[in-house]
A = this chain, B = another copy of it.
Amino acid sequence: MAIRSIIRIVAMLIGLFSLTMLPPVFIAYIYQDGGGNDFLAAFFVTLIIGFFFWIPNRRHKSELKAREGFLIVVLFWATLGSVGAIPFLMSSSVDMNLATAFFESFSGLTTTGATTIAELNDLPKSILFYRQMLQWFGGMGIIVLAVAVLPMLGIGGMQLYRAETPGPVKDSKMTPRIAETAKALWYVYLCLTVACMLAFWLAGMSLFDALGHSFSTVSIGGFSTYDASMGHFDSEIINIITVVFLIISGINYALHFTAFSAKKFSLEVYRRDPEVRAFIFIQVLLTGICFLVLIDNDVYSSIETTFSHAMFQAVSIATTAGFTTTSFSDWPLFLPVLLIFASFIGGCAGSTGGGLKVIRVLLLNLQGQRELKRLVHPKAVYKIKLGNKALPDRVVEAVWGFFSTYALVFIVCMLALLMTGMDELSAFSSVVAMLNNLGPGLGEVALHFNDVSDASKWVMIIAMLFGRLEVFTLLVLFTPVFWKN
């Protein structure tokens, strides 16, 4: 294991990350919110931390192996989550202890979007902007992780996508390949962000709100600059724009890249993809169920309002964004629990969405059907096909294994939260919200996580990381075989 080489890379990343604290300085000076000096100080502290780790290791450059990828990915997220907390700790306008600052930072970077801040409306714009930006950068990391890194590491069946990723495949030389893929994906990501921002702006948001909400929409993060979340704008057009961009961002970015780089842009590439079809079907189905149950229970006065809330909440929760337009946790109990279970499905692989990912649920479903067929005809041979490609057994086993491990991590995290003193509903919905990188929970934690104990926050931070790193990336570091030789 080339540890010092890895530290050098992480140190460089910290240095680079310190730059993210400069735009808030700029925002602070424009809006004169008084937060500029705090961010400038945070910038220097972060830069110095980066230098501190870089100097002794700066000459250690070795080609990285696939196995080291696990460690680098975990360190990237853990380190950035930690230094990302510095501005919260140093700010004079929010009063956060270590657990709370880490929670807010990890929640942003992992695009979970659960907040510890009960009163957003009164915060300086620089802090609000920084939170939105954390999500946006987190989203950048996720698409590269999901499109370029996980297929190479072969996590939870994602080797399925190995051949499809843009760029040349060289298992032992990760760096050039990832850099090339990353650039292509970020280009798409940037275009979508700009489009989303313009749409919000034209729909009536201020430029500041449009930019901030485009950040947390394309990253499927769910942070808002208002306590009422998207409900603040009370606009059906803004709701529709959000839903459209959440659905776009919930689709595999490798597909977007293919569609963008084709000579003539065409929807055909999406229409052919079984995962996209399933994803859209799920969103439509959930919207329909929410709409019918809400109508049946006479929750809203008009049909249009009902449909708008139903569609917004269904897509927002099912894609794991976690925005709200209404207090959906007070809907007839069946609906919030249905949506919270739907967040286990989440977005497509290679998107910024969380959860198990649509493709895995699709495969679990096909695999389950095969098991049933096998019971009836024990001697027949059934191949699982996705589109017209037969699935290798290795992928089948990896997907089953992913699901079971996800369930196990869920149970352990929930028991840990109960031990820290939470009640069942809050503990249950918190783990769902963290592990699926969804954001809001039910019960005590339906709006914010301010009243949660520090111990609970640390457990939740770990749960967010487990979710974002697709469980196995983190878990594999705890096996002896990983560290041997």
Q: A residues within 8 Å of B by Cβ?
A: 66-67, 70, 153-155, 333-334, 337-338, 341, 364, 367-378, 393-394, 396-398, 400-405, 407-408, 411, 414-415, 418-419, 423-425, 428, 442, 472, 475-476, 479, 481-482
Contacts and interface: CB of A to CB of B under 8 A. Distances in A.
Nearest to A380: B481
Contacts of A400: 367, 397, 400-401, 403-404
A373 B472 contact: no
Contacts of A425: 424-425
A36 to B, nearest CB: 45
Contact of A405 (B66, B155, B371): B371
4 closest A-B pairs by beta carbon, nearest first, are A400-B400, A371-B401, A334-B418, A334-B419
B472 A397 contact: no
A12 to B, nearest CB: 26
A444 to B, nearest CB: 13
A401 B472 contact: no
Contacts of A364: 404
Nearest to A70: B375
A472 B376 contact: no
Nearest to A378: B154
Contacts of A415: 334, 337-338, 341
B401 A404 contact: no
Contacts of A371: 397-398, 401-402, 405, 472
A370 B373 CA distance: 26
Nearest to A69: B375
A370 to B, nearest CB: 8
Given A393-B393, A404-B400, A407-B407, A376 B337 contact: no
B418 A482 contact: no
Contacts of A374: 154, 394, 398
5 contacts: A337-B415, A367-B401, A371-B405, A374-B394, A403-B407
A450 to B, nearest CB: 21
Which of A67, A368, A370, A376 lies at the interface centre, i.e. has the most chain B CB atoms within 10 A of its CB? A376
A470 to B, nearest CB: 11
Nearest to A373: B481
Contact of A375 (B376, B419, B472): B472
With most chain B CB atoms within 10 A of its CB, the pick from A378, A405, A423 is: A378
A378 B397 CA distance: 13
Contacts of A414: 337
A373 B405 CA distance: 14
Nearest to A422: B333
Given A364-B404, A369-B479, A376-B476, 9 more contacts: A66-B378, A334-B419, A337-B415, A338-B418, A368-B401, A371-B401, A372-B482, A376-B482, A393-B393
A341 B431 CA distance: 15
A155 B400 CA distance: 17
A201 to B, nearest CB: 40
B154 A376 contact: no
A38 to B, nearest CB: 40
Contacts of A408: 368
Nearest to A341: B411
A313 B371 CA distance: 36
Contacts of A377: 481
Contacts of A66: 378
A182 to B, nearest CB: 22
Contacts of A407: 403, 407
Contacts of A405: 368, 371
A109 B476 CA distance: 44
A167 B405 CA distance: 37
Contact of A376 (B369, B394, B402, B481): B481
A155 B378 CA distance: 11
B479 A372 contact: yes
B397 A476 contact: no
Contacts of A153: 375
Given A419-B334, A424-B425, A475 B403 contact: no
